[in-house]
Structure 1
Amino acid sequence: MGDWVIGVDVGGTFTDFSARRLSTGQSVLHKRPSTPHDPSEAILNGLRELQDKAGIDGEDIVRFAHGTTVATNALLQRKGPKTGLVTTKGFRDLLEIGRQVRPAIYDLQTDAPPPLVEREHRLEVCERIGPRGEAIVALTEAEIDAIIAELGPMSDVESLAVCLIFSFLNPEHEERIAAALRRAYPDLYVSISSEVHPEFREYERFSTTVINAFLQPEVSRYMDRLSAAIQKTAPKAALGIFQSAGGLMSIELASRFPVRTALSGPAAGAVGAAAAAAMSGIEDIITLDIGGTSTDVALIQGGKVGTSNLRDIAGFRIRLPTVDIHTVGAGGGSIAHLGADGLLKVGPMSAGAVPGPACYARGGDKPTVSDANVVLGRLPARLADGFRIDADLARAAVARISEPLGVSLEKAAHGIVSVAASNMARAIRAVSIEKGQDPRDYTLMCFGGAGGLHAADVAEILAMRRILVPRAPGILCAEGLIVSDLQENYVTTCRCPLDGDLAVIAEAIGRLGAQAEEWLAADAEDAAHVVSRSQTVILDLRYIGQNYELPVELGTSRHAPALPPVEELKQAFFRQHEAAYGHCNPDAPVEVVNVRIRATMEFAKQAVDAARPAGEAKPAATEQIWFEQTGFVPTPVYARDGLAEGVGIIGPALITQFDTTTLVPPGWTLRIDGAMNMIMERNDD
């Protein structure tokens, strides 16, 4: 029986592979350049290379977990089909009205991005569901026929969203319209809000459903191509797609609800980070995932990844459970330039995988963060799989910054990496200080291809004293896919004061629990590796009159946990409110807004059988690396695979490995712990 699990994460610059054998813990890593024109090309080519590298037979692969950026890129580029909308009469313009929040409060010229559905493609239907789920205006067959007829001339509309008022309480009208449209237009993709996002707040529900409709044709076709190709290579593999909420889902669900994959890759990194930190006995971390085009940060408390139910991506609002990640356009490929004010800027524009930074010698000539690191001596002449670095091209690119500023190449390069580090630190403040958490109480965990190069700079800005560098930082998102479980989320809006009759809440928990139980009882494709099934109940609570609610977990068990006493619920909410806002009012009335259940099928895990070298640390080379206080300094370079447990190194030093490079600046000390993770600590002042 096969027992190989493979995780594949597609990034803007590289596609990362991690394979693990469940019976032995044997681990194999691989990396190859991404193919933005068709991400599946890099996946399939890389999978064949990985199989050859490790001698893995396709029949022995039992699970293939994939983190995808297809949905994210489609949103960022507005690359999608013509999309239509059917809504209740009078709500045609809701997508423009939104929440009347300006994208830049002090910029009177900047507008919100135009809706994904043009106004002439928004159709109105005469019907109305009331606030208690009652049919105030019944939906007639004549109205449905009129919509079908009106849609006929719109031959360029490939996908349609159906969003009716209060359909989250009573989906009957949406379901009838969707069924009729699918019969009349079999090739039309149809998304209905009562399935995509059955919660109150009409704008967020409409926006999320429209995004799902916009993404569905592109993502579905990609999933079909990928699934067919993987089945040829690994016929027994269960294909799981990582969702933004932090777990795997089937490829069928990913095709039906592509909006759930909008933060697929970064979310996998957070899950992998929590697992890697746990091996070192560290539960409170802030992740710093620096890739080629962006940096993703997340706060993990007590080993649990934080979640959020509301996100803006590319100016579009999505209300679904997601791992709470903050992203900034600062990565190895971020382009440095001088703004209209003559000041140095870095990002958000990126050289990406094609043509890439100038030092990659693939046609790029603009100065990037990677080029600045080459000028400073931080990047070795050879990267993953012999990927060569051209230092002369890097210096020529950075000269486009240094000459106008009248400074040396090194000063300009240092300015580029410093501005990039400031942008990254600002992202960390957003997930920590702005949410009542002091980053100095956390360990900074760096990963991604460029994480180790910038971690110390970021930590210095935030006065953080400890950094954790996992065993394979450049492949951690792919490793996170391997340790992820199957997950499904259920939600219903159920507004009820805590001091009232909570029977309606108990009934909602029972109803959602039955849905979760049905999903949990179904055999997964690789059910032989499922070791447990569980349900977690979450209530969204708020003070009556508040605009937003806070999630409060009631517990996790095999079946949906029972509703605890009211006073216990209140105290849990007060603790959450105190942590989030710094205060609470024990005398103010509290209400339930939504009931949620997170169902999980947990897979068997196998710890990595990491190589454990022995002996003293011996530098493989010495390089001249530039530091602000000293200029160029002869710096020892160590190969990480030669560092034994317990080894300590005093900075400055450079640690190189297959997937990344880690800089240990002066004033920092590095040691290898029992999990073979690297721990960097600032020396006492």
Structure 2
Amino acid sequence: MKKYRVGIDVGGTFTDAVAVDNETYQLVGQVKVPTTHDDIHGVSAGIVKALDKLMDEYQIAAEQITFIAHGTTQATNALLEGDVSKVGVVTMGKGIEGWKSKIDTNMGKIEIAEGKFLNTSNHYINSTKNIQTEMRNVCQKIKNEGLDSVVISEAFSVDNPENEESCALIARKQGLQATASHDVSKLYGLKVRTRTAVVNASILPRMMETADMTESSIKRANIKSPLMIMRCDGGVMTIDEVRTRPILTILSGPAAGVAGALMYEKLTDGIFLEVGGTSTDISCVKDGNVVLKYSSIGGHKTYLNSLDVRTVGIGGGSMVRIDSHHKITDVGPRSAHIAALDYEVFANAEDIQNPVLKAISPLPGDPTYAYIECSNGKEYSLTLTGAANICGYIPEEDYAHGNLEAAIKAWEPLAKAMNLSVKETAEMVLDLSAKRNGEVVSQMIKDYGLLHEEITMVGGGGGASSVVPHLANKLGVNFKIAENASVISPIGVALALVRDMVERTVTDPTEQDIMSIRKEAIQMAINSGATEDSIEVKIEIDSQQNKLRAIATGATELRSKTLGGRKKTEQELKEIVADNLKQNVNQINICGKNDYFTVLSSTRQKKHLLFFRKEYTPVRVVDYEGVIRLQKVNSTVVTTPLSKWKSTVDHLIAENIVYGDGGEEIPNIYIIDDARIIDLSGMRDASQILSLCEAELKASSGKSDLIVICTLTTENQRG
């Protein structure tokens, strides 16, 4: 019996659902229904309608669904619209420390969007008294205020959460939705941690209501697989975790598209652009991981780790801005949707009769935008999608492909006003689009230290081809439009892995600190629905901010993370890497391989000082389907049996340590063990690498040799 993975993405206008084959990960079916904002059951009604339609149209039985997840904009919209609950904040402390805690946790009115506020009321418990009795009394006061959400916060609760946990339990027994500050973050910083917890608590009641409705509907459909929810970092978690930490679903919409790029397109290093009708969400992937940052809500810092997504007001429906002389000045941010006009490129050519160029201000106070009025009374906007069709950037099978004849006829009046050809006019508009998107992409490349020549730009969303090909040409980078780009977000939801993260404030992490946080992250991933045997952990040490971070990812069931594609020959793999490195295929060498991965390298030279040239060895790790899974500028590769891993790693570290003014600079180590790439980069000393390596290799079968990759320090990497 075939098994399917179902992903549902709840957008502002439509809810998309897809079914993906559980073995091949190929798209089986897709449906779209209007998002049900006004239904008595809220957005959950749309989720159920989309699921019912998907199962009916593609004849999928409940027992065939092995995984089901959805992403939602509900938490984000709640904050944007101010649809949040007032929160009671209970602070515990004693003496002078308690007095300071009381000040730090007084949140007052938090502006979460322009003119929208999250209100709080404050209560204090002296921890020298009977905390349980005091908490019961405080809960009664909070209920008398008409509140149903409470935050419990205590300084240093991340080290000893006992008081917060006991008070949260009392609050829940009294019918309140409770958030303990240590549950949303393990970092020091009482003020920011409490603020993060308050935002979490403010959306708890509404999210709980939706979660309960959706889960009961899934159960009534006889689907046995537990419902998973998309997180803001590109992973999924169980609905039970949402009931505790709904804040993790904020900005999960853009994260779904990146999850699709990671799992469906296997993006290793690059920029992902999800292009809608009005805007483009731009995010970054480095070493096969999404790049995250702390989110600010209403300008206030939180400890919410979410996708670093930068939005530009340029999309497939973006209109052309013009001045009083009908000359082009810019493109966007208003779109055809906002102006309530149809796209010219999706019109019938015969409907565009004697078009006349007109100007419109879609909203009060807006500048003027170009549109055409036809002699038959029909009106059409001039859009970026029309420009891209005119300039030949959109292939026939693409979602954004339209009627070229109609687009050309529609653009003729503007071209005449500009004294240019239609194609030159369209190219000018595309250039303006590329300038604005390009500034953001270039800054992101710089911010995260990506190498320009190694990145791939991946386009998703229905408007991807209207933006990405021209932009990539302008920036001189490789690009591709994601397969099934128009539904990349629900595909990302369907294929997403369970993900959880633990962060702690640690000045100089010891081996014990690292192993402890690793264990904690694994347990949290299990709690979020991952099977233990599937979990992989990435450890990060942030020396500047004294933070130790463990990121655990895993599957809800044991499965291969590679798509079931044809295995490439060695020659084909060499050709792929040669193309990536812009070298002749004869210059590419295989320096390690197993059943899953092949490691290929080359030798290159770069100018060093005035007259000298310096050799360096770029390395690419390619899976059997030909997807580059890891790429490094200058590396050493060694193959070793499992029994000799320690001496091999020891030797590589000793050979490649760099001593500078700041002390030792440890090289980055990656180990390929069968189908896993174990990332040991970012450690501060050799003992940390060895401890983590030992933990990761405990479950190794040892059937095939390990491939150890040692990348040199940042300065040396660049030749």
Q: Same fold (TM over 0.5)?
A: yes
Q: Which residue of 1 aligns with 2:533?
A: 532
Amino acid at match of 1:593: K
RMSD between superposed Cα atoms in Å: 4.6
Q: Which residue of 1 aligns with 2:547?
A: 593
Q: Which residue of 2 aligns with 1:75?
A: 79
Residues 231-630 of structure 1 mapped to structure 2, 5 A cutoff: 231-278=219-266, 283-302=268-287, 304-313=288-297, 315-333=299-317, 344=329, 366=362, 371-373=382-384, 375-376=386-387, 378=389, 417-464=430-477, 466-493=478-505, 495-497=506-508, 502=510, 506=512, 508-516=513-521, 518=523, 532-543=533-544, 549=545, 592-598=546-552, 600-601=554-555, 603-605=558-560
Q: Note closer, same or farther for the CA distance 1:82–1:376 as it changes in structure 2 (3 Å cut).
A: same
Task: Specify every segment of 5 or more residues in structure 2 that has no aligned partner in the other structure, as ranges.
Answer: 92-100, 348-359, 363-368, 372-380, 567-623, 628-719
Offset at residue 218 of structure 1 (A): 2.1
Q: Note closer, same or farther for the CA distance 1:521–1:84 as it changes in structure 2 (3 Å cut).
A: closer
Distance in structure 2 (CA, Å) of the matches to 1:261 and 1:223: 12
52-61 or 345-354, which moves further after superposition? Answer: 345-354
Distance in structure 2 (CA, Å) of the matches to 1:161 and 1:397: 57
Q: Give secondary structure in 2 for the equivalent of 1:321.
A: strand
Offset at residue 542 of structure 1 (A): 1.6
Offset at residue 195 of structure 1 (A): 0.9
Q: Note closer, same or farther for the CA distance 1:46–1:149 as it changes in structure 2 (3 Å cut).
A: closer
Specify the structure having the higher radius of gyration (Cα).
2
Q: Which residue of 1 aligns with 2:62?
A: 58
Do 2:522 and 2:537's aligned partners in 1 also have CA atoms closer than 8 Å? no
Task: Specify every segment of 5 or more residues in structure 1 that has no aligned partner in the other structure, as ranges.
Answer: 99-110, 128-134, 544-548, 550-591, 612-673, 678-685
Do 1:123 and 1:147's aligned partners in 2 also have CA atoms closer than 8 Å? no
Q: Note closer, same or farther for the CA distance 1:462–1:179 as it changes in structure 2 (3 Å cut).
A: same
Do 2:518 and 2:550's aligned partners in 1 also have CA atoms closer than 8 Å? no
Q: Give secondary structure in 1 for the equivalent of 2:542.
A: strand
Q: Note closer, same or farther for the CA distance 1:240–1:314 as it changes in structure 2 (3 Å cut).
A: same
Q: What TM-score results when the alignment is normalised by the length of structure 1? A: 0.64
Q: How many residues align?
A: 523
Q: Note closer, same or farther for the CA distance 1:255–1:521 as it changes in structure 2 (3 Å cut).
A: closer
Q: Give secondary structure in 2 for the equivalent of 1:320.
A: strand
Amino acid at match of 1:532: D
Q: Which structure's relative contact order is higher, taking Cα pairs within 8 Å and 6+ residues apart?
A: 1
Offset at residue 259 of structure 1 (A): 0.9
Offset at residue 260 of structure 1 (A): 0.8
Q: Note closer, same or farther for the CA distance 1:519–1:89 as it changes in structure 2 (3 Å cut).
A: closer
Distance in structure 1 (CA, Å) of the matches to 2:153 and 2:408: 51
Offset at residue 448 of structure 1 (A): 1.0
How much identity, in percent, do the aligned residues show?
24
Pair 1:212 & 2:200 matched: yes
Do 2:261 and 2:492's aligned partners in 1 also have CA atoms closer than 8 Å? yes
Do 1:25 and 1:606's aligned partners in 2 also have CA atoms closer than 8 Å? no
Q: Note closer, same or farther for the CA distance 1:206–1:231 as it changes in structure 2 (3 Å cut).
A: same
Do 1:335 and 1:350's aligned partners in 2 also have CA atoms closer than 8 Å? yes
Q: Note closer, same or farther for the CA distance 1:607–1:182 as it changes in structure 2 (3 Å cut).
A: closer
Residues 157-172 of structure 1 mapped to structure 2, 5 A cutoff: 157-172=147-162
Do 2:318 and 2:384's aligned partners in 1 also have CA atoms closer than 8 Å? no
Q: Note closer, same or farther for the CA distance 1:421–1:20 as it changes in structure 2 (3 Å cut).
A: same
Do 1:85 and 1:161's aligned partners in 2 also have CA atoms closer than 8 Å? yes
Offset at residue 310 of structure 1 (A): 1.1
Find 1:144's aligned residue among 135, 142, 160: 135
Q: Note closer, same or farther for the CA distance 1:375–1:486 as it changes in structure 2 (3 Å cut).
A: closer
Distance in structure 1 (CA, Å) of the matches to 2:215 and 2:503: 29
Q: Note closer, same or farther for the CA distance 1:252–1:371 as it changes in structure 2 (3 Å cut).
A: farther
Do 1:309 and 1:319's aligned partners in 2 also have CA atoms closer than 8 Å? no
